[in-house]
Amino acid sequence: MLNKILKFFTYFILFLLPIFWLPFSFEFLEFNKLYLLFFFGWFGVLLWLLKEILIDKEIRFRWGLFDLLIFIFVLFTTFSFAFSADKSSGLFGIYGRFNNGLLALLAFFGLYLLIRNNLKLSPAREEGEITLRGIFNSLLFSSFIIVLWLYFSLSGLWLKIPFLQPIAIFNPISPSVESVAAFLSLITLLVILRLLIKRELKKVGKIFYISFLILSFPLLLIFDSLSGWILLGLGLIFFLFISWRQQVFIQDPHRLIFPIFLIIISLIFSFLNFGNLLTGFTQNPPLILNLPREQILNQRESWEIALKVVTSSVKNGFFGSGIGTFLSDFAKFKSDRMNEGGLWRLRWDKAGNNLAEVLATLGFTGGVCFLLILLWLLILAIAKKTEPELISWRVFLIGLVILQFIFYQNMVLGGLFWLGLAIGANLVLTKEKIFPLRDCPGIALIFETLVIILALLLMAGGFIGIKFYLADHYYQKAFLEPDLDKKIGFFQKSFNFNPYQPYYQMAFAQTLVLKVQQEIGAPQEKQNQDLIQNLANSAAALAKRATLLAPGEILYQQNLANVYRDLGAWEMAIGAYQEALKLEPKNPLLDVEIGKIQAQLGKINEARENFKRALAIVPQLDIAKIQLALLLEQEGKTREAILELENLTRGYPLNAEASFHLGRLYYNNDETDKAIEQFQKAIQVFPNYSNARFSLALAFERKGEFQNALNELEIVAGLNPENEIVKQKIEAIKNKLKEPEIEQPSPGE
């Protein structure tokens, strides 16, 4: 009975992995899949040990050189975590990913142990054994649901079901199409090969396989992902080589026409942008082509960053920057190319391929070990002769190896990779260490103790996991809550349930700053100075705590600087920004922020130097050019400032801030008509630009156009309902509208 439970439980895990998600957490995909794989995987290991002890009365543990490599890799990863300064990202992974931390690796390792020690490859199998056929069916049924899900999303059917609208997502694998394309390419490859090799396939099975291919291939065309085409094409090329080597189709070579055709298609679409080709025929492309795509870090940059990390210090050479810390690596070691165009605004938390990320975060020890694992798997899949039915799985393993060189890892792709490692380990002859329990009560006691410890660890992990899940649930509620007081309450609960997640504390600190600003904006008689001080102290403390939990993470250091800046702690803000520059030396915005504060403090020359440094990093940085013009105004050189901003608005006509400041200078220089023109330009670009609308109202008031002024002020009041200055100005304009109009003499009188 326990054999059957273990078998179906394992299939259930593999079936759920691609489709599992829950709407109760802020990050609804990777976070929930991590919980699924970690707790279900290790519970499966517990069931396996219980089966061995209670039913078989012996412990059978499969062991080989490949398993040793796996254990060494896990050990090196643990060392990397131990030597990493950022324990938070190292344990949980970067917030939003959750697949690149130590917990994710342990979840994958649990799945590996479960499959490795329970998979049976021999044709003569007993009832209740885990088989490749069962694994394939679990993945295929799950993939079929994914395919149908995608068609529902592309056609907009999810949005037509009222009760599903609030929780409708594009797909349960990834928010973008690139990961889905990689997954579909792997499963499509496996289905094609099973269909070609399995000659005695039942009619129902053949219909199901063909139906899947008919539905999945158009999706690959629509998604048009380079990594997906490379994966499919190279996989089929290796299939042709292995088939020729084993002479599988010597009697019927015409069956290879279909894979050859698909190789040609993959080659064509690897160079042809199918999406652009379709949209080129129409000015209004169909909704089905407006897909959520992801900008992936290019391969050259990924490898350059990885090499810079491992050569930056002895510690990084051995153990890397630490598991889960690629965002910090990118911030510190990105090349000047990443500041060209609009790329300087972006930060990547993952490399363009998994191998480069492993090298950067785990160093040469982890990187070389991981590369040996890939080479072993590749050589095994290509060189080992097996029964024809296993060729499809060998090509599947080759596809997983290829994926490590061309694409990053998420929970689904990572789960498939470690499933492949377990299958690959079972393709070779390995030793099976047997510990008989009947004749060795001492050994039995040891294993029973280990089972009890594992069970207790799972129970303790479950208790902590529930708390952390509730923390993310309350973070989600806080993120969606518009009321500041309720938002703070939800953030407090989130912090109480998980005080070790710096991302929550960063957001909590930002919300407290908003509350401080709201209190300061209230009428003087309603202000509570003690409350304002307590809120400010709490915001600063939370922001500081986040940097202590993740000391190498640029997000939290920059947030600390922003909090100090918004609270008016100028010198502390400058110090925090300077620390942030050490973590991300090629971020021009940090120099701009320092310069803005120095300008506030009257340090004109220091401010100008910081703005020039920002422009040296990104010469087209318009915000730095605006600040240089404002320094001229601060020095009393108004006309020069106006000339600079006029040039700037001609070069950047869509820059609302430049238009606003130019309008403000025109207004102060009594050029009201020009001021109105610039304020209106700013509003056209950014309709909710409160300062521009308020200034436009003042310009209209100066010209006597009180109704226009009132219209603008009412919009500003809608955007800032608690602002007393706006309320007072509205009343003043209304009073002017009530005054009788005085007839103005004509110019000739």
d(CA 41, CA 581): 42
pLDDT at 288: 57
370-391: pLDDT as tens digits: 999 999 999 999 988 888 888 9
d(CA 506, CA 491): 10
CA nearest to 36, candidates 50, 6, 8, 15: 15
pTM beyond 0.85: the answer is yes
pLDDT at 3: 84
The answer to whether 16 touches 37, Cβ cutoff 8 Å, is no
- What SS3 state is found at 717? helix
pLDDT at 254: 82
Q: Would the pLDDT of 293 be above 90?
A: no
- Cα–Cα distances (Å) from 340 to 329, 345, 574, 617, in that order, read 19, 10, 26, 9
Please give the mean pLDDT across all residues of the chain.
90
% the chain with pLDDT above 70: 94
Q: How confident is the model at residue 439 (pLDDT cuts 50, 70, 90)?
A: confident
Q: Would the pLDDT of 746 be above 70?
A: no
Residue 82 tokens read as 């131990």
CA nearest to 626, candidates 588, 591, 661: 661
136-162: pLDDT as tens digits: 999 999 999 999 999 988 887 777 777
Q: How confident is the model at residue 491 (pLDDT cuts 50, 70, 90)?
A: very high
CA nearest to 191, candidates 145, 155, 137, 267: 137
Task: Go through 663-676 and write b for each residue having 16 or more CB atoms within 10 A of its CB, e for each that does not.
Answer: bbbbbeeebbebbb
Q: In this structure, is the dihedral angle defined by the CA atoms of residues 422, 427, 431 and 437, taken in order, positive or negative?
A: positive
The string of DSSP codes covering 616-637 is HH-TT-HHHHHHHHHHHHHTT-
Q: Structural domain boundaries of the chain?
A: 2-446
Q: How confident is the model at residue 749 (pLDDT cuts 50, 70, 90)?
A: very low
CA nearest to 202, candidates 263, 262, 137: 137
Rg over alpha carbons for the chain, rounded to the nearest Å, is 31
Q: How confident is the model at residue 748 (pLDDT cuts 50, 70, 90)?
A: very low
- What SS3 state is found at 58? strand
Average pLDDT over residues 330-339: 92
Task: Go through 295-304 and write b for each residue having 16 or more CB atoms within 10 A of its CB, e for each that does not.
Answer: ebbeeebbbb
Q: Would the pLDDT of 287 be above 80?
A: no
d(CA 33, CA 311): 34
d(CA 178, CA 576): 37
Which segment of 97-111, 181-195, 268-282, 657-671 scores lowest on mean pLDDT? 268-282
- H or E segment and range at residue 327: helix 326-333
3-state secondary structure 677-705: HHHHHHHHHCCCCHHHHHHHHHHHHHCCC
- H or E segment and range at residue 712: helix 706-719
d(CA 612, CA 650): 21
Cα 618 to its chain centre, rounded Å, is 26
Residue 605 tokens read as 């020359």
Q: List the beta strands (DSSP E) in 28-112.
A: 58-63
SS3 content of the chain, % helix, strand, coil (to 5): 75, 0, 25
Average pLDDT over residues 710-732: 88
The CB density around residue 505, as the number of other CB atoms within 10 Å, is 27
pLDDT at 727: 87
Which ranges in 127-251 belong to alpha helices (H)? 132-155, 177-197, 203-223, 226-246
Q: How confident is the model at residue 299 (pLDDT cuts 50, 70, 90)?
A: very high
Average pLDDT over residues 294-314: 94
Classify strands 58-63 and 431-436 as parallel, antiparallel or unpaired.
Answer: antiparallel
Residue 435's DSSP bridge partners are 59
pLDDT at 724: 79
pLDDT at 181: 94
Q: In this structure, is the dihedral angle defined by the CA atoms of residues 331, 332, 333 and 339, taken in order, positive or negative?
A: positive
